[in-house]
Structure 1
């Protein structure tokens, strides 16, 4: 069991009222195939038994338990843990998720083999209220393109070089005290200085809770994400009106409820992004084109309407030529369109 001064990986788990799920999360790290790590657990003044559970592992020389003196929020807690990290790499981990046994080894191997990549993450499989798989853009240019719309990284599997924190002064923005956008904001700044490349492999099981418990979370997260998206558009350099910003934010997160926005407006805005990228070179043109074309498909697919044939509108616009949805999705789109127009 390694007890070196400088472990290869520092795993940081911020904790707030996660007592019900904390033991399985901790155990999933302690049982990793790669054992050259330290586990830093930071409790943010939990009101349940979280701190006691964390301290019950303190006899393990790999485990260090820290506790905030007062509740400071996720960003402060992440930064606090990072101050004590000694590893070459930092692995993020949520207090209610389960890391697969090979997670750390897989991510170490990837960054060791790709020295130009500063941060990576992986796919996640949900458990609890859902069993879907969250997939993320893979290449650095695909990540940069997707970043304009939403979080391009699975934060519970984020894995990065600790040197980023010192060489570029990167920290989580601790003025963001809720768990609403602090990860997206951090990743947006990381992407400005290093390449982010994701791995197409499930390395974590992500706990999902009943939607009734998450409705408020989603609303607050989207409000913060809207601010981050506006900032990213300014980094991109594209000029936009308030209406275009409204369109952009609306088509950036599920369920893409258009309200008074017309599909043609959406296509015009997405095509503007593609054309501007061609001039500016923010991301590889092919990667950006695929990103906006996929966004065009999803917007049309998720907004069936009797008055506007969204399938016909999708097909008649230029972006339809640059994205081929899975056969199953194509079939569902055809079926939804037919049912709306004939029943």
Structure 2
């Protein structure tokens, strides 16, 4: 286990591979947090660019930074889990190499958790930004309160970009939410679902994080590249659904299985649009109908 003389209140885990073009801005914004009592663990997943050299330069200048060079590629899910499991602090957050945090992000989310003992996670509103493109608010940070069934059912009805994954968490509850055997498409949804069994998720009303958005077909191109089974390409959330059926308490599964099946149908249509461009007009029409039917309160339709 990694150690330091004065264990911080917050550990920030940054899994990265080939992030040299953008990582300086991300690290600078993390080390400039007004909450200073933190540790940044960077886990390099066999980068082939100058990522390691950049990160090690920061580590030499700031004792709060630790760089771990993985001897073999852990995969995305494995690297995210690795940095979490190194944390010994009461609170933890993940950080991507291409995101930027306002200086008050950590302090305000910590204060939110301190004031709400029933909560296990807090995040701010989030801006999603495409390089040289438009910016829009993430629809994946809304608060999730109530009992377990209410929290899970609302989450799966419209998880959005799951930007809540990048909030501040109570460490031990998050570790219990990240089993070692869930490396499937949608693993971040699984982790958030299991974390919602632990307690409530909170949202600050202000924007304190800017995330780099991906193009519409990014995840499906990744799926084609990494998934050899055609069935799981057309039903990308089927493995996720199988994990959830096994992991969720029966009464919680019954409460949210309809929303989970709906997510499977939406993802199948998104993949069909990607693989069969002639399907795009049909999918867009269905998306418009879906948005008109479900847009109310804090919820918004999943973008097809």
Tell me the TM-score normalised to structure 2 length.
0.72
Q: Distance in 1 between matches of 2:255 and 2:105?
A: 41
- Aligned counterpart in structure 2 of residue 238 of structure 1, from 254, 263, 275: 254
| Contact 1:17–1:47 (8 Å) recurs in 2 | yes
Shift of 1:203: 1.9
Q: Distance in 1 between matches of 2:165 and 2:262?
A: 29
Q: Distance in 2 between matches of 1:256 and 1:69?
A: 34
Q: Distance in 2 between matches of 1:174 and 1:189?
A: 13
Structure 1 stretches of at least 4 aligned residues deviating more than 3 Å after TM superposition: 149-153, 172-175, 209-215, 217-227, 229-241, 243-248, 251-258, 322-326
Count the aligned residue pairs.
268
Structure 2 residues without counterparts, runs of 5 or longer? 228-232, 274-283
Aligned partner of 1:261 in structure 2 is none
| Contact 2:234–2:271 (8 Å) recurs in 1 | no
* C-alpha distance after superposition, 1:34-62 (max 9, x if no partner): 11101110111112111111111111111
**Secondary structure in 1 aligned to 2:22?**
helix
Alignment pair present for 1:160 and 2:169: yes
Aligned partner of 1:17 in structure 2 is 18
- Aligned counterpart in structure 2 of residue 75 of structure 1, from 56, 74, 77: 77
Aligned partner of 2:153 in structure 1 is 145
Tell me the TM-score normalised to structure 1 length.
0.65
Shift of 1:112: 0.9
Structure 1 residues without counterparts, runs of 5 or longer? 259-298, 305-309, 315-319, 330-343
- Aligned counterpart in structure 2 of residue 250 of structure 1, from 265, 274, 285: 265
Q: Distance in 1 between matches of 2:144 and 2:218?
A: 34
Q: Distance in 2 between matches of 1:27 and 1:170?
A: 29
Aligned partner of 1:225 in structure 2 is 237
Shift of 1:115: 1.1
**Aligned-pair RMSD on alpha carbons?**
3.9
Shift of 1:218: 6.9
| Contact 1:33–1:105 (8 Å) recurs in 2 | yes
Alignment pair present for 1:173 and 2:180: yes
Q: Judging changes above 3 Å, is the alpha-carbon distance between structure 1 residues 70 and 324 closer, same or farther for their aligned structure 2 residues?
A: closer
| Contact 2:153–2:255 (8 Å) recurs in 1 | no
Q: Judging changes above 3 Å, is the alpha-carbon distance between structure 1 residues 54 and 222 closer, same or farther for their aligned structure 2 residues?
A: farther
| Contact 2:157–2:260 (8 Å) recurs in 1 | no
Shift of 1:67: 1.4
Q: Judging changes above 3 Å, is the alpha-carbon distance between structure 1 residues 300 and 51 closer, same or farther for their aligned structure 2 residues?
A: same
